[in-house]
């Protein structure tokens, strides 16, 4: 059996804190920390400084919920971006992936997750009221739902489509198509597939 006393206290504490990251778990925490410790000391401290800076300066955009280092993100504050088109994503990194394509000219809305009853995540845990407010406030023409193409992402898309249609019958609701493989993740999708899935979006 491993003698717990042999693990230095700072490592124990760091591991404990890292397991606070959802889905990370003990193994993920260990992999991260021990790889970090393996780096030369100067590189290690650069990594830590960058993490600390991100942790201390990044917040959610007050409008769309994307991670930003300002009150209102550069997308929402860009007058060239149309607020009448909202692309709904689960997390900021999904929006960043779509932005890389340099095609979409509307704004985003970050739900902060997806409906996952087995994990106890229900619609009230997501930023849905804000979305409805924005649809009304900006007289939105189209809501493009870009939740991930998996069971929960689909269920979330259908839930949102129904809700939006009932409140705002004139708003077009569309869903990115299956240029993306079922079960894949938007944040790691290849650019061509992602671009096709947005271009070929279908009405819900
Ligand atoms: Zn924003």
Q: Which two tokens stand for residue 30?
A: 């260990």
Neighbouring-strand partners of residue 145: 88, 175
At 111-133, the pLDDT tens digits run 999 999 998 999 999 999 999 99
CA of 176 to the centre of ligand 1 (A): 21
Band (203; pLDDT cuts 50, 70, 90)? confident
CA of 20 to the centre of ligand 1 (A): 27
CA of 108 to the centre of ligand 1 (A): 7
CA of 174 to the centre of ligand 1 (A): 21
Distance in angstroms (rounded) separating the CA atoms of residues 2 and 22: 26
Is the pLDDT at 196 greater than 70? The verdict is yes
Is the pLDDT at 1 greater than 70? The verdict is no
Q: In the prediction, which pLDDT does 3 show?
A: 56
Is the pLDDT at 185 greater than 90? The verdict is no
Q: In the prediction, which pLDDT does 201 show?
A: 85
Sign of CA pseudo-dihedral 151, 157, 160, 162: negative
CA of 94 to the centre of ligand 1 (A): 14
User: 4-57 and 73-203 share one CATH topology?
Assistant: no
CA of 179 to the centre of ligand 1 (A): 27
CA of 129 to the centre of ligand 1 (A): 16
Residue 22: how many other CB atoms lie within 10 Å: 8
Q: What is the 3-state secondary structure (H, E, C) of 19-69?
A: CCCCCCHHHHHHHHHHHHHHCCHHHHHHHHHHHHHHHHHCEECCCCCCEEC
Q: Are 81 and 72 in contact (CB under 8 A)?
A: no
Distance in angstroms (rounded) separating the CA atoms of residues 156 and 91: 13
Distance in angstroms (rounded) separating the CA atoms of residues 195 and 190: 9
* 16 to 13, 143, 176: CA distances (angstroms): 5, 41, 39
CA of 29 to the centre of ligand 1 (A): 31
At 24-61, the pLDDT tens digits run 788 899 999 999 999 999 999 999 999 999 999 999 99
CATH code assigned to 73-203: 3.40.1360.10
Q: Are 65 and 112 in contact (CB under 8 A)?
A: yes
Domain ranges of the chain: 4-57, 73-203
Give DSSP secondary structure letters for 62-91: TTT--EESSSS-TTTT-TTSEEEEEEEESS
CA of 12 to the centre of ligand 1 (A): 37
CA of 198 to the centre of ligand 1 (A): 20
CA of 87 to the centre of ligand 1 (A): 12
Region of poorest pLDDT, from 96-100, 143-147, 178-182: 178-182
What is the average pLDDT value for the chain, to the nearest integer? Answer: 91
Q: In the prediction, which pLDDT does 180 show?
A: 64
At 99-109, the pLDDT tens digits run 998 889 999 99
Q: In the prediction, which pLDDT does 103 show?
A: 87
CA of 59 to the centre of ligand 1 (A): 11
At 76-94, the pLDDT tens digits run 999 999 999 999 999 999 9
Distance in angstroms (rounded) separating the CA atoms of residues 186 and 147: 8
Is the pLDDT at 2 greater than 70? The verdict is no
Q: From 1.10.8, 3.30.70, 3.40.50, 1.10.10, which CATH number describes the 4-57 domain?
A: 1.10.8
Is the pLDDT at 7 greater than 80? The verdict is yes
CA of 84 to the centre of ligand 1 (A): 14
């Amino acid at each position: 059996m491993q003698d717990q006393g042999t693990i230095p206290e700072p490592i124990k504490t760091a591991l404990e804190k890292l397991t606070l990251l959802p889905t990370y778990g003990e193994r993920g925490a260990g992999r991260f920390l021990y790889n970090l410790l393996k780096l030369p000391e100067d590189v290690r401290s650069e990594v830590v400084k960058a993490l600390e800076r991100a942790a201390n300066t990044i917040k959610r955009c007050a409008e769309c919920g994307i991670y930003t280092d300002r009150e209102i993100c550069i997308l929402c504050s860009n007058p060239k971006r149309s607020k009448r088109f909202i692309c709904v994503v689960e997390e900021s990194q999904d929006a960043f992936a779509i932005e890389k394509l340099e095609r979409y000219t509307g704004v985003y809305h970050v739900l902060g997750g997806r409906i996952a009853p087995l994990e106890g995540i229900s619609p009230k845990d997501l930023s849905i009221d804000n979305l409805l407010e924005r649809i009304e406030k900006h007289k939105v023409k189209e809501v493009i739902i870009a939740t991930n193409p998996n069971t929960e992402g689909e269920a979330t898309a259908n839930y949102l489509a129904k809700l939006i249609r009932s409140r705002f019958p004139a708003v077009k609701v569309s869903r990115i198509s299956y240029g993306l493989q079922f079960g894949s993740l938007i944040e790691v999708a290849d650019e061509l597939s992602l671009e096709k899935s947005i271009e070929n979006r279908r009405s819900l």
